[in-house]
Structure 1
Amino acid sequence: MPKPEIHVFVCNQTRPEGHPRGSCGASGAAQITQMLSEEVAKRNLFTQVAVTATGCLGPCDCGPNLLVYPGSHLYIRVKPEDVSRIVEQHIIGGEPVTELLAPEELW
């Protein structure tokens, strides 16, 4: 695999039901990861973009969380309908989707 220009990490951390911190896994992270991988495939971005399922990225109660490098942009509360916009506007277009980014005090 060539060195990716962009690396997207999607938290897939799971915790027991009722855990006070919650988890991205319980908030639908697997679906977000799958959809992101499908968008990368559909747009033939395999050599430019790597998608990696990870453990905890921090703000568990705000999940699913998605972190994009370069730039260290943390997206919170990502919904399935946000995935194609993040790919189109940020990953391809280079402009973060500001209303989905974690606020400064959180990240």
Structure 2
Amino acid sequence: MPKPKKHVLVCVQGRPEGHPRGSCQASGCGPLWQAFSDAFAARKLWEQGLQLTNTGCLGPCQTGPSVLVYPEGTMYAHVTPGDVDEIIDKHLLGDEPVERLVAPAEVW
């Protein structure tokens, strides 16, 4: 597999209800992961050198669902399925982070 142009990591970490850190699963990462998966398939983004991976905890559980884009290391917070096309169009294909979703500096 060649090195991807961009690699999107979507946190799907789950923790028991009431856990003090919370989790991206409790914040709705399931539909977010599905939206990214569907968009990657429909738009054939893998064929364009992009990669998508679901992950365990990325760290900032309180601002989940979290999405991390490499190689830039841009962390997105409170991402919803409705944000997926904007992240793809603006960041993955246009090389410009979606500023309104970038996690606060103290988080990342």
TM-score range for the pair, normalised by the shorter chain length:
over 0.9
In 2, distance between residues paired with 1:34 and 1:2? 24
Letter in 2 for 1:59: P
In 1, distance between residues paired with 2:4 and 2:33? 17
Could you say which residue in structure 2 is the equivalent of 1:9?
A: 9
In 1, distance between residues paired with 2:71 and 2:2? 16
In 2, distance between residues paired with 1:87 and 1:61? 24
Letter in 2 for 1:30: G
TM-score (norm 1): 0.94
Say how many residue pairs are matched. 107
Could you say which residue in structure 2 is the equivalent of 1:65?
A: 66
Q: Which segments of 5 or more consecutive residues in structure 2 lack a partner in the other structure?
A: none
CA distances 1:54-97 after superposition (whole Å, capped 9, x unpaired) = 01111101100000001000000001111111111111111000
How far apart are residue 39 of structure 1 and its match? 1.1
Q: Which segments of 5 or more consecutive residues in structure 1 lack a partner in the other structure?
A: none
TM-score (norm 2): 0.93
User: Which stretch shows the higher mean deviation, 71-80 or 39-48?
Assistant: 39-48
- 1:48-63 to structure 2, matched below 5 A, reads 48-63=49-64
How far apart are residue 3 of structure 1 and its match? 2.7
Could you say which residue in structure 1 is the equivalent of 2:89?
A: 88
Please provide the CA RMSD for this pair: 1.0
